[in-house]
Amino acid sequence: MSDQQISLMAHLLRRAGYGASRDEIEARVAQGYDSVVEELLTPGDDPGIEEDLMYRAYPSYFDKAAIETGQTEWVYRMINNKYQLKEKMSLFWHTILCAGDNKVDNARTTAIQIDKFRDMGMGNFKDLLMMLSTDPAMLYYLDNIESHKTAVNENYGRELLELFSIGVGMDNEFNYTEDDVKACARAFTGWNLAPTIPVFPYGRTPFEFRFDPADHDYGEKTFLGETGNWDGGDIVDIICKQPATARFVARKLYDFFVADEPPVPSWRLSEPRDMDAIKQLEKAYFDSGYEITAMLRVLLNSDFFKDEGVHFAKVKSPADVVIGTMRMVGDHLEPKPGLFFVAMEPKYMGLDLMNPPTVEGWHMGREWINSGSLIDRINFASSMLGNTELPGVKSMINRLMDIGETPSSEQFLDGCLDLLGPMDLADETRGQLTDHLNAGGALKHGTEVEQTEFARRTGETLQMIATTSEFQFS
Amino acid sequence: MVSTVKDPVLAVISLSGGNDGLNTVIPYNDPRYRDYRPALGVPEEQIIPITDQLGLHPALAPLKKYWDEGHLAIIQGIGYPNGSLSHFRSMDIWATCEPDELGITGWLGSVIHDVDPTGENVLTGVNFGRGLPRSLAKEGVPVASVGNLASYGLLTDIGADAQRTEALDLFGRMYAPAIGQGAVDDYIRRTGMEALKGADILSTAPGMYRSEIEYPSTAMGGYLRDMAQVHNAGFGTRVLFTTAPYNIFDTHANQAVGHSNLLQDVSVSIDSFMADIRQLGKSDNVTLFCYSEFGRRAMDNGSGTDHGTGGVAFALGEHVKGGLYGEYPSLEPGKLEDGGNLQHNVDFRRAYTSLLDNWMGLDAKAIVGGNYEDLGFI
């Protein structure tokens, strides 16, 4: 199998999932790219992990009363879900259709929303928006529970258009008017929560959706040029047929899976990075009747996705750093103590799962990096990759021994980079690492003593590669 | 009055979870206190009186001497209009001064920016804890987050000193050149060098610190000890921040013992910190501010207390004018807010204004988002 095939498969598994061990990458190359894509696009109905085992080992996951419990469970699924694309789509939608438990203050309800993203994230966009519009965490987060027939709160109605579906504008035009926002908000009046149970002493019970007909505005509304006695469902129908909605979903998918795009508010004036790619995705959106999987099928099979120019063109999100590293080193592949500490890492790196900074979600790309988060990213990845006891690292050591009896520093470094990506380094960086390896003497592994030293130096080299700026890209 | 202290330092402690103000500064002469707190009332003989109406919780005994010296300001009934009973929302509001919008810029992030607009010193603001608290967040403002000073830095997993030095050396050489791999890569390299510089400087702090003062062996004790060391080292750090472990003041149940331990931890840690920097001769330019996102329900629930609104905050320092600020919220049933919460009468942005205008010498208005009357404790 060629280097190019390995590279492409690694790229696919990093983007459409959280990466894979070298063994899996090779097996997937043997399976064939098209077949792997199809497998990613058609997950089974089962949860993708052994839920029984997980709940037995971590009973608290069954009833996620605290937000950290929900975060830890999610991280477990990210590492272990065999339906990696389906799992990644739950994060994709969370970063767009985001509600924050910092306001909802009901960890159970917030975690249920994520489960819904996982279940429906590869389905029809219309179903997803209907789910969102009846989702208790969202209705609470964006104040729809305060939106009444006689006193409309526009928060949800506005963000549904601005951040969740249509976007403020495209091709230098505005996509909707303030009157559309008002009509939209009116259509969602009475979309509320059932009365809640007092929080003490058992904590909050999950909120439940309830439609209150007495509080709904049944009057006539004009929304995006169409007039009728619209309710929320009609609004979602009208939203889904807009060209701007196709553009929105296409651009979001491109941003997440292909290459970093600027944030939504600038989309009215900023052209997509690759308009031709966006057009292909828009077409899939309409041809399929708003099916996300159809769009993903076009995307993952496209030349613009496979293009080497977009490999490592995205700054890793904290989830990519943490989960990607865990999958590379093969740790926490089954329930065991210590997962909590791994699960808190994305938060230290700026991705506090289920607590987005605002309804706009996280600013991604280079904004993931600041001096504090970079220290955490480097320390986490390098401590894991430097741990020669972990199965994934052991396997890398064995593979490196196969290069030859006394590999040169260059060969050894190339071997390490190949196993960590395959990835590349700037010449200057490569030179520094080679000099360092040269200074350490020959990389022999004949005797037991030499093998121990070889393993140590492998750990050290992997650790140093994990500190590079190149390693920050996916 | 605006203080003329050179290079004033603001140390902020957030008591995350909602500290029970009513059992922190106790209106022991108000019979309603006993009515509201059948299960959690602090026995009168244990309360430490500071006026004929108010007394401190016994666990705050270590702070009494600062009150007696006139260096402890107690801000009563602190909060903001339409107080949110959600921890996270309320913390956000205190952090960003944005009660109506979800803000993203923290007030202390703005302070760091205003003190050091060009970001010359990567240690102008230091957080003790992990992650970046919202209070310190501002785009383009570097903040070091120190979980544990003794082991802070890059590649801390490498145990052997010689090896680690070598690795850090190599890191520096790999990051130093801007090699034109693109704007984002250059940015990461620059940030990496900043992080290395910050960590390098911070790692020298423990070596400069000589002290016999004991701190509690708790997270709070550790953070305040690290804070004293960084302050002592004179790196030009002007904002020090820490927060009590996640939501720990959220005493819905078993509050009697739990809350007492928490207050004990905070007051002993603060006392250690103050004693420490006094002994080091470095207390003159420090003002400490301690707050919580809200107070708790007036009526106890038999075991603990639920989320409330109006609470209590403290300012402590050599230049703090000790005393009571604001009014103690009325316990009259008719004067309680919806659901039985103490009404606030001091907006927290007034306290920030006093700290920023009078202590830090900055323009508070721009940072807290409006004109708030100085409370006068500095």
Residue B119 sits in a domain of what CATH number?
Answer: 3.40.720
Pick from A104, A357, A369: which is nearest to B104 by CB?
A: A357
Say if residue B20 is in the same domain as residue B95: yes
Helical ranges in chain B per DSSP H: 31-36, 61-69, 87-96, 107-115, 161-175, 183-202, 205-208, 219-233, 255-279, 348-353, 364-368
* Minimal C-alpha gap between A120 and chain B (Å): 28
Is residue A68 within 8 Å of A340, Cβ to Cβ? yes
Domain that holds residue B56: 9-152+214-368
Mutate to test the interface with B, among A375, A385, A409, A471 (most CBs of B within 10 A): A375
Q: Residue length, chain A? A: 474
Kindly determine whether residue A105 and residue B88, on different chains, have CB atoms separated by under 8 Å: yes
Q: Quick one: average pLDDT of B336-363?
A: 95
Say if residue A265 is in the same domain as residue A117: yes
Residue type, A337: P
SS3 B126: strand
* Residues B3-43 pLDDT 10s: 789 999 999 999 998 999 999 999 999 999 999 999 999 99
* Minimal C-alpha gap between A35 and chain B (Å): 34
Query: Chain A contacts of B185, Cβ < 8 Å?
Result: 469-470
Kindly determine whether residue A464 and residue B170, on different chains, have CB atoms separated by under 8 Å: yes
**Token reading at A37:** 């894509």
- How high is the pLDDT of residue B158? 82
Position B179 confidence tier, pLDDT thresholds 50, 70, 90: low
- How high is the pLDDT of residue B190? 84
Residue B377 lies in a domain: no
Say if residue B174 is in the same domain as residue B240: no
Residue A117 lies in a domain: yes
- How high is the pLDDT of residue B368? 97
Window 373-412 of A: residues touching B by CB (8 A cutoff) are 373-376, 378-379, 382-383, 386
Query: Chain A contacts of B18, Cβ < 8 Å?
Result: none
Query: Chain B contacts of A344, Cβ < 8 Å?
Result: 130
Domain that holds residue A395: 391-472
Query: Chain B contacts of A315, Cβ < 8 Å?
Result: 184, 188
* Residues A307-333 pLDDT 10s: 999 999 999 999 999 999 999 999 999
* Closest-approach residue (CA) in chain A for B185: A469
Residue A345 lies in a domain: no
Window 330-349 of A: residues touching B by CB (8 A cutoff) are 344, 347-348
Position B294 confidence tier, pLDDT thresholds 50, 70, 90: very high
Query: Chain A contacts of B127, Cβ < 8 Å?
Result: 372
* Minimal C-alpha gap between A20 and chain B (Å): 24
Kindly determine whether residue A358 and residue B102, on different chains, have CB atoms separated by under 8 Å: yes
Say if residue B50 is in the same domain as residue B170: no
pLDDT at B1 over 70: no
- How high is the pLDDT of residue B178? 66
Position A230 confidence tier, pLDDT thresholds 50, 70, 90: very high
Q: Is A264 on the interface with B (CB under 8 A)?
A: no
Report how many domains make up chain B: 2
Position A231 confidence tier, pLDDT thresholds 50, 70, 90: very high
pTM confidence score: 0.83
Closest CA to A426 of A417, A415, A437, A436: A417
Pick from B88, B131, B154: which is nearest to A347 by CB?
A: B131
Residue B295 lies in a domain: yes
Closest CA to B304 of B37, B16, B92, B30: B37
* Residues B80-123 pLDDT 10s: 999 888 777 888 899 999 988 778 899 999 999 999 998 889 89
* Residues B238-277 pLDDT 10s: 999 999 876 789 888 889 999 999 999 999 999 999 999 9
Estimate the crossing angle of helix A67-80 against helix A318-329, to 10 degrees: 50
Asked which of A310, A334, A358 is the last residue of a domain, the reply is A310
- How high is the pLDDT of residue A21? 93
Asked which of A310, A345, A376 is the last residue of a domain, the reply is A310
Q: Is A371 on the interface with B (CB under 8 A)?
A: yes
Q: Quick one: average pLDDT of A177-192?
A: 96
Asked which of B170, B202, B234 is the last residue of a domain, the reply is B202
Window 108-167 of A: residues touching B by CB (8 A cutoff) are none
Is residue B354 within 8 Å of B365, Cβ to Cβ? no
Distances (CA, A) of B7 to B107, B154, B234, B360, B378: 18, 29, 10, 8, 15
Strands A173-174 and A191-193: unpaired
Say if residue B27 is in the same domain as residue B146: yes
- How high is the pLDDT of residue B306? 85
* Minimal C-alpha gap between A202 and chain B (Å): 10
- Model ipTM over 0.90: no
Q: Is A196 on the interface with B (CB under 8 A)?
A: no
Residue A357 lies in a domain: no
Peptide bond into A357 cis (omega under 30): no
Say if residue A160 is in the same domain as residue A286: yes
CB-side neighbour CA atoms (13 Å) of B145: 22
Query: Chain B contacts of A352, Cβ < 8 Å?
Result: 131
Kindly determine whether residue B252 and residue A467, on different chains, have CB atoms separated by under 8 Å: no
Query: Chain B contacts of A371, Cβ < 8 Å?
Result: 122, 142-144, 191, 194-195, 198
More confident residue, A200 or B55: B55
Q: B101-117: b or e for each residue (b if 16 or more CB lie within 10 Å)?
A: ebbbbbbbbbbbbbbbe
Q: Quick one: average pLDDT of B303-307?
A: 87
Pick from A102, A201, A365: which is nearest to B253 by CB?
A: A201
Q: Quick one: average pLDDT of A359-383?
A: 89
Instruction: Tell me how crowded residue A62 is: count the other CB atoms within 10 A of its CB.
Output: 12
Helical ranges in A386-447 per DSSP H: 391-401, 409-419, 427-439
Say if residue A287 is in the same domain as residue A406: no
